[in-house]
Chain A
Amino acid sequence: MAFNWFKLSSPASFYPVAGALIPWFAIGAAILAAIGLWLGFGVAPTDFQQGEVYRIIFIHVPSAWLSMFLYVVMAFWGALALGFGTRLSGMMAQAIAPTGALMTFIALWTGSLWGRPTWGTYWAWDARMTSELILLFLYLGIIALRQAIGDPRRADRACAVLSIVGVVNIPIIYFSVKWWNTLHQGASVKLTGSSMETTMLAGMLVMSFAFWFYSIAAVLARLRAIVLERERDAAWVAGLPEVRAAAGGPG
């Protein structure tokens, strides 16, 4: 039984699919987070050098990975929007940006709080943290460009170009910041110890999946809102139960 994926490529057909998927990913995220935190706090031992504080890693690393992964995925959907002109692709890219930006913020925040007890300072111009900060600026730029352009089609395509240019630049930016950092600091400051315990690694991996599932759920939920916003004049939207309910109420 072949499934025609292209059937899903219209906002109308994907809207209910997204709605069905969200609860699964949300619950999956919660379960994975529970397992990850159990591994992180219950199983993984106290670090020899850093004590308990290193446990921030179970949020810091997953959120950092997601922040980069989401940017690439957003650029991918942008490329599709540019190449094929499909509205849903543009909407997907639009839905990803805020979640990506929040992941970047979490990575920076947790990294800063981890840095204070370990390095003695909230910010230390570490190569990875500095690159992460620039990534946040890249996300905010995409969001700002989207807001500034009124026409959704032009916004889709402009943000696509910007995110593709960004995706090409991210490795360059990271490389240049690392270069700058190692030239100016003797030994590179590492957040983790020289080797990582298996249980720590396991906790980090499980939490990464938890963050990934959560991101999927959040992005799909935002996508549904965006579909409603951009397709509001379509008849299939008028027939939706949530829209009927909103119409039936006051106003």
Chain B
Amino acid sequence: MNHWHFILGAYGVTLLVVVVEVLAVRARRRAAARTAAASAPAPGARPGTSVRGA
């Protein structure tokens, strides 16, 4: 019994999900960078998070 189409469906969809996740996370980061660029004040205008703080 080979049932290659089941194997293909399993591996194929997994690959698809991985690709979609990677692309989605990248898009999310780009969008976040854009929003940050739009809303952030000029550098130095507001003290940022100190390295010590949490």
Asked if A and B touch directly (CB within 8 angstroms), the answer is yes
The residue of chain B having its C-beta at the shortest distance from the C-beta of A56 within the complex is B10
Interface size of B in residues (CB-CB distance below 8 Å):
44
Contact with A along B20-52 (1 / 0, CB 8 A): 011001101111111111111111111111111
> Is A25 positioned at the interface, with any CB of B under 8 Å from its CB?
no
> Is A88 positioned at the interface, with any CB of B under 8 Å from its CB?
yes
| Cα A243 to Cα B37 with chains together (Å) | 5
Give every chain A residue within 8 A of B44 (Cβ-Cβ): 235
Give every chain B residue within 8 A of A59 (Cβ-Cβ): 10-11, 14
Nearest Cβ in chain B — how far from A95, in angstroms?
9
Find out whether the CB atom of B36 lies under 8 angstroms from the CB atom of A243.
yes
Interface size of A in residues (CB-CB distance below 8 Å):
58
Give every chain B residue within 8 A of A226 (Cβ-Cβ): 32
Q: A232-B39, A233-B46, A234-B49 are in contact. Are A52 and B11 (CB under 8 A)?
A: no
| Main SS at interface, chain B | helix
> Is A154 positioned at the interface, with any CB of B under 8 Å from its CB?
no
| Main SS at interface, chain A | helix
| Cα A50 to Cα B7 with chains together (Å) | 12
The residue of chain B having its C-beta at the shortest distance from the C-beta of A105 within the complex is B17
> Is A114 positioned at the interface, with any CB of B under 8 Å from its CB?
yes
Q: A53-B1, A214-B18, A222-B25 are in contact. Are A233 and B6 (CB under 8 A)?
A: no
Nearest Cβ in chain A — how far from B6, in angstroms?
5
> Is A182 positioned at the interface, with any CB of B under 8 Å from its CB?
no
Find out whether the CB atom of A52 lies under 8 angstroms from the CB atom of B40.
no
Find out whether the CB atom of A109 lies under 8 angstroms from the CB atom of B52.
no
> Is A87 positioned at the interface, with any CB of B under 8 Å from its CB?
yes
Find out whether the CB atom of A12 lies under 8 angstroms from the CB atom of B40.
no
The residue of chain B having its C-beta at the shortest distance from the C-beta of A224 within the complex is B29
In this complex, the member of B36, B39, B41 whose beta carbon has the largest number of chain A beta carbons within 10 angstroms is B36
| Cα A236 to Cα B13 with chains together (Å) | 39
Nearest Cβ in chain B — how far from A214, in angstroms?
7
Find out whether the CB atom of A113 lies under 8 angstroms from the CB atom of B10.
yes
Nearest Cβ in chain B — how far from A219, in angstroms?
9
14 CB contacts below 8 A, A to B, read: A12-B48, A53-B2, A85-B54, A86-B54, A102-B17, A110-B14, A218-B22, A228-B33, A228-B35, A229-B32, A235-B48, A237-B40, A242-B33, A244-B37
